[in-house]
Amino acid sequence: MKAVFLKELKSYFKGLTGYIFIGLMFLVISFYYIVYTMYYQYADYYYVLDACVGLIMFIFPVLTMRIFSEEMRNKTDQLLLTSPVKTSGIVLGKFLACECIFLIVILLTLIQPLVTIVQFKGTLNSAFTFGGYLAFFLLGTSFIAIGMFISSLTENQLVAAVITIVVFMLLNLTNGLYNIFPSSRYFSLGLLIAGLALLVFLIYRAISDVIISGIVGVVMLLALLATFFIIPTAFDGLVVKIMKEFSVFERFGDIFTGVFELNHVVFFLSVIVFFLFLTYQEVEKKRWS
């Protein structure tokens, strides 16, 4: 894993990817720092981080689009896959290299709150500032894990970047989209079946076994239908509740405003682990194909 990590980290600075990502991120954050702190004179730094979220959805794909796509395009993935490094080491090595680039940005931004305190004699709300950084870190790390999985699916970096942006935008839209959905139990059932189909597809992509994927799908579908006929009232407004519960940006907002609930942190960690697992399965499948 260490060899993959060092190789991946160096590759970001041999080319322009690392510099572009760090430069764009710091430029965007600095712009909002000037606007909110210097112009509007808001001392609390979480205003700056909150304002950046909409734009970083378009910047993070710059970092993640090449992780596996470039290897596949250059055919160097064959050397990596036939090396003695374990699949978990490959995935974690690349993930940690990306995480290091992201952490460099976070460390650079720490200068700005210090400038606010020392130069402008501002007073920071410690809970909100810590919550802002924690939420920003967890969201960014989740973006890396999601983008990494998408990159493992295609050798075209542009396609990986576009799909990643679309996924991030959809995640952002779900933050308020559930409010317009009908609360009908039949609507909930239909969407849950569609979601189940997507889950079965992801399972198939991960294990490449039609029979096991089909059995899992059928069992889950029968369980869903049985529950619907036994307790139909449980499906009233269920999709709205589920979407709200699984909304990345809903939980981001809670942590951001200083609501430090353990289940929010566990949720983000689960998202990260889930997409790393999917990436592991995708790489493992290529290794044995």
Q: What is the pLDDT of residues 252-266, one digit of tens each?
A: 777 777 667 788 888
Helix axes 248-256, 126-151, angle to 10 degrees: 160
| Closest to 286 measured CA to CA, from 80, 56, 51 | 80
Mean pLDDT on 163-176: 81
Whether 95 and 148 have beta carbons less than 8 Å apart is answered as yes
Mean pLDDT on 74-99: 84
The pLDDT of residue 52 is 82
Inform me whether the pLDDT recorded for 128 exceeds 60.
yes
The pLDDT of residue 55 is 78
pTM for this one? 0.84
Pick the range with the lowest mean pLDDT from 58-62, 92-96, 118-122, 144-148: 118-122
Mean pLDDT on 44-48: 77
| Closest to 20 measured CA to CA, from 62, 52, 70, 49 | 62
Helix axes 126-151, 262-288, angle to 10 degrees: 20
- 276 confidence band (pLDDT: 50, 70, 90): very high
State how far the Cα of 21 lies from the Cα of 75, in Å rounded to an integer: 25
The full set of domain ranges for the chain reads 2-178+247-288, 184-236
State how far the Cα of 170 lies from the Cα of 175, in Å rounded to an integer: 9
Whether 174 and 247 have beta carbons less than 8 Å apart is answered as yes
The pLDDT of residue 80 is 74
Inform me whether the pLDDT recorded for 221 exceeds 80.
yes
